[in-house]
Structure 1
């Protein structure tokens, strides 16, 4: 049996398109032309014998096969990067894991890198299958932005945590939703309603966060998943077109634009997702010091008093 040889450049092209949902943005990230990105995807599809993307009105979305390939592509590239770093003569960069490129932690990390141009730092992007915490525990990363509590497995005692960012949540609704004309809604007013959070279907620290929020505010967290391979773009389209669907969204999350989408702040208290910086206290990377100092200096502790947090997170973020 002849096994297909995967071109890592083509795999990087696939990953960039999957993350951005548009060939133009992927080309900008890779520093190549849109035509070159298309050629890489076509080459990869030819090798695999499958279609990886389908076109939509706003860009492209992974097919079901593309969605299955996505976490494996990330793992493959991470292993390739680790292999290169292992044989280099100079020390490897600080590897910092984030859950996804749209997450608030990425914006905080890029803020740090813009002000520390000499920092040798690599961003390791995880997902629901291989999370940022998994990357840290498997030693694929030296630090991770993630929640310090919850999830199917507790963190080992040697993993240290520092508060990095409290991210208040708002509601995303379509313009025909009953809340669309509101600037803000008290959390208590959402009691008895249903909020669609399909990502909470995965056993994880964020699923536990939404479970605790639902219990606290008497909100039904709907974890029904969208159709396979639909991605965040399709989810946004469904909410924008609906007069009933709504979802929680972080204030600093990079949400795809849609003209029919409306944002409604949740207040009194504002539920906030607690992003911590995690690292191995027994074997810290020597370049972690500056990033840790950055997180401690810029953590928005002044907002903590007006936010709702799960009880396990309060000592780290409020105490």
Structure 2
């Protein structure tokens, strides 16, 4: 039966130091111990292994054939030991996830995740129209982005992986005096010819491309003029108008107003395709858990009733819809 030998890491460290410094005295200085201590460690190692590891001469110490065979393994063991210590002492930074704004579906999705997994070390990073969640991912500021996978002025790098996260149905918001105000639902093509105000689509972005593609499919003119307001300002203007209308996603937090009516859009329901995006090379230990959660919670059952732009259809499993008259 082969006898197991428990190698002393301190002795291995002394052995590697002598090989690299070529003298016991120099190795002792590097290690911060006495030359006698280095000699004792090497002697202990030679006794354990039953082989001489150095040839000692006036010019210094050179490794024997046995020493040369041991050297790569000794270095590997020392590297592994250091990695083991770091894995315990170093605290893994939180997984950083970029979302676009506080009132968006992506934020709601992440808050739902964190509420059910409170021990997950995850940090939500708020992006904006200037530094979007996709740009935060591209620049390495975050590990994950929740955003549309297609469109926008700059394509995603080839190493970015995309998975469907949420199909967010769009509703039509109108004021109480709008011609559509008495409705609870409305067909998508019934809105054709009636401009819908989406000031945020004035910014070159993946969501601007989404509304451009929706307009081309449905015949709905998208009005991007006027001030670039937040959702609260948009709702105020809709409430005071008899002609303005806007889109709102059902996953976001639309400010309540007594004079605003919310209509479900059907046949088909336009949906914003929110994807989970991450780099294939990211090895953060918290990434896999989030990917699995999003895969399990994706609302795939709604896909058959939805419309998304053609580039997103395969990823989200949405059947292509032919535009009608």
The reply to whether TM is greater than 0.5 is: yes
Q: Following superposition of structure 1 onto structure 2, how do residues 196-211 of structure 1 map, counting pairs within 5 Å?
A: 196-211=197-212
C-alpha separation between the residues in 2 aligned to 1:184 and 1:89? 55
C-alpha separation between the residues in 1 aligned to 2:226 and 2:296? 38
Report which stretch shifted further, 271-280 or 256-265. 256-265
**1:271 corresponds to which residue?**
270
Query: Any unmatched runs of 5+ in structure 2?
Result: 1-88, 319-325
Q: 1:283 offset after TM fit, Å?
A: 2.2
SS at match of 1:271: strand
**2:248 corresponds to which residue?**
249
Pair 1:103-2:104 in alignment: yes
C-alpha separation between the residues in 2 aligned to 1:221 and 1:231? 17
**2:18 corresponds to which residue?**
none
Report which stretch shifted further, 283-292 or 97-106. 283-292
SS at match of 1:206: helix
Query: Any unmatched runs of 5+ in structure 1?
Result: 1-87
CA RMSD of aligned residues (A): 1.3
**2:281 corresponds to which residue?**
282
Pair 1:148-2:149 in alignment: yes
C-alpha separation between the residues in 2 aligned to 1:257 and 1:191? 26
SS at match of 1:242: coil
Q: 1:167 offset after TM fit, Å?
A: 0.4
Pair 1:221-2:222 in alignment: yes
Pair 1:303-2:312 in alignment: no
SS at match of 2:102: coil
SS at match of 2:155: coil
Pair 1:119-2:120 in alignment: yes
Q: Following superposition of structure 1 onto structure 2, how do residues 36-115 of structure 1 map, counting pairs within 5 Å?
A: 89-115=90-116
Contact 1:165 1:300 in 2 (8 A): yes
**2:235 corresponds to which residue?**
236
Q: Following superposition of structure 1 onto structure 2, how do residues 124-135 of structure 1 map, counting pairs within 5 Å?
A: 124-135=125-136
Please say which structure displays the higher CA radius of gyration. Answer: 2
**2:175 corresponds to which residue?**
174
C-alpha separation between the residues in 2 aligned to 1:257 and 1:219? 25
SS at match of 1:285: coil
Q: 1:107 offset after TM fit, Å?
A: 1.0
- What per-residue deviation string (whole Å, max 9, x for no partner) do you get for residues 223-248 of structure 1? 0132x6x5332221110010000001
- What per-residue deviation string (whole Å, max 9, x for no partner) do you get for residues 181-223 of structure 1? 1010001111111000000000000000000000000111000
**1:317 corresponds to which residue?**
316
C-alpha separation between the residues in 2 aligned to 1:284 and 1:197? 38
Q: 1:125 offset after TM fit, Å?
A: 0.4
**1:25 corresponds to which residue?**
none
Q: 1:117 offset after TM fit, Å?
A: 1.0
Contact 1:180 1:262 in 2 (8 A): yes
C-alpha separation between the residues in 2 aligned to 1:236 and 1:165? 24
SS at match of 1:243: coil
**1:192 corresponds to which residue?**
193
C-alpha separation between the residues in 2 aligned to 1:139 and 1:284? 13
Q: 1:268 offset after TM fit, Å?
A: 0.3
Q: 1:89 offset after TM fit, Å?
A: 4.4
TM-score for both structures, normalised by structure 2: 0.69
C-alpha separation between the residues in 1 aligned to 2:291 and 2:233? 36
SS at match of 2:273: strand
Contact 1:142 1:284 in 2 (8 A): no
C-alpha separation between the residues in 1 aligned to 2:98 and 2:151? 18
Q: 1:264 offset after TM fit, Å?
A: 0.6
Contact 1:240 1:261 in 2 (8 A): yes
**2:82 corresponds to which residue?**
none
Size of the alignment, in residue pairs?
230
C-alpha separation between the residues in 2 aligned to 1:134 and 1:162? 17
